[in-house]
Amino acid sequence: MNWRVLTVSGYLVVLVSAILLMIASHLPSSTIPTFGSLMSRIMRTRSGRIAVLVGWLWLGMHFFAL
Amino acid sequence: MAAAGSPRPPGSTTPTSGAVTRTTPPATSAALAVLRSPVTWILFLAGFFDGISDNWVHALVLWAAAYVVARDVARRARGIAPPTATVMFSGSGPRRPGLLALVAAAAVTYAVVAGSFDRYTWPITAAVVLPGVLVLAVAWPGPLWHRPVPARPRTLGTALWATVFVAAGLWELTALLMQPTLQGGSYSHPTISYLMDTVLSHQVGRSVTLLVWIALGAFLLTRITDSGADPVDGEEGER
């Protein structure tokens, strides 16, 4: 296994884990919060809102903007 | 003179049975609150690593956000109450399918048009920054609709999500640091940005990515809740 395969595999593990958490959070009587409710908890204060939304803005800028 | 019923700012003197008790000076208390704020640290460090990767303009955006958050935290720590959060629309959210279809059509049109521009040009920069700033401006005062704060989740569930986010960040950081230089991508140690270069070199890839991005922004905007009272990053929520 070379470094590239290992690195990409790491990203895939993280992605699959996130998808599994999303599925598990929607199961009945699940104690795992959904992604949406987690974001709601974080964004209930102004600093939380700004942090999350600037993170989102930065993502767009990083991939596209000058 | 403090208004009746307003919180007593740190640093004030409190008469108790004839004695006077001095609390923490307001400047010290504000500085400690900022140092304890993980959100400020995350934004500052993200800006630092973006900057040393030769993206200083993007770093300035993150540092500006860190400053805004730090100022907000410091003001609260000094007992300056934040303005009351305002709700933009009455009701509990859009329910009309026609309106949702219109928004979806606008998002697809935006993604197709913006995706036709090359990366790192002024047109696509405007196409990303303008809606981004608009979303921030809309979110600044409060939620779009009344939306109650969800109950505090179980620690284990939150920890699982945190583990995924932290693992993603550390893995990306590891790949970044294992590149021959911070400014150049590496085939052997690709960052997510490096892997996305192939996708974003085509118009379809850019349009799909922009559609996901704008949909995520809209989703986040609708998830903003009424202000909560539980402390977050060392501060009290807005009331």
pLDDT of residue B106: 94
Length of chain B counted residue by residue = 239
pLDDT of residue A48: 83
Q: Which residues pair with B14 in a beta bridge?
A: B21
pLDDT of residue B224: 86
pLDDT of residue B24: 59
Angle at B115 between CA B114 and CA B117, to 5 degrees: 75
Q: Please name the residue of chain B whose CA is at the shortest distance from the CA of residue A3.
A: B188
With CB atoms and an 8 Å threshold, state whether A48 touches B55: no
Q: How far is CA B160 from the centre of its chain?
A: 20
Of chain A residues 2-31, which have a CB less than 8 A from chain B?
Answer: 2-4, 7-8, 10-11, 14, 17-18, 21, 25, 30-31
Q: Which residues touch B148 (CB under 8 Å, ≥6 apart)?
A: B225, B226
pLDDT of residue B132: 92
Residues of A in contact with B124 (CB under 8 A): 64-65
Do residues B229 and B236 lie in contact, with contact meaning Cβ atoms separated by under 8 Å? yes
Mean pLDDT of B48-64: 86
* Longest distance between any two alpha carbons in chain A, whole Å: 46
Region of poorest pLDDT, from B37-51, B121-135, B203-217: B37-51
With CB atoms and an 8 Å threshold, state whether A8 touches B190: yes
With CB atoms and an 8 Å threshold, state whether B190 touches A57: no
Kindly report, residue by residue over B230-239, the tens digit of the pLDDT: 444 444 444 3
Total domain count for chain A? 1
With CB atoms and an 8 Å threshold, state whether B192 touches A44: no
Q: Between B78 and B125, whose confidence is greater?
A: B125
For residue B21, which phi and psi values (nearest 5 degrees)? -105, 125
Distance from CA of B29 to the nearest CA of A (A): 18
* Residue A66 contacts B, CB cutoff 8 Å: yes
Of chain A residues 33-62, which have a CB less than 8 A from chain B?
Answer: 33, 35-62
Q: Which residues of B152-161 are buried (b: 16+ CB within 10 A; e: fewer)?
A: ebeeebbebb
pLDDT of residue A25: 92
With CB atoms and an 8 Å threshold, state whether B164 touches A59: no
Q: Which residue has 């995924």 as its token pair? A: B164
With CB atoms and an 8 Å threshold, state whether A40 touches B224: yes
For residue A16, give its domain range: 3-64
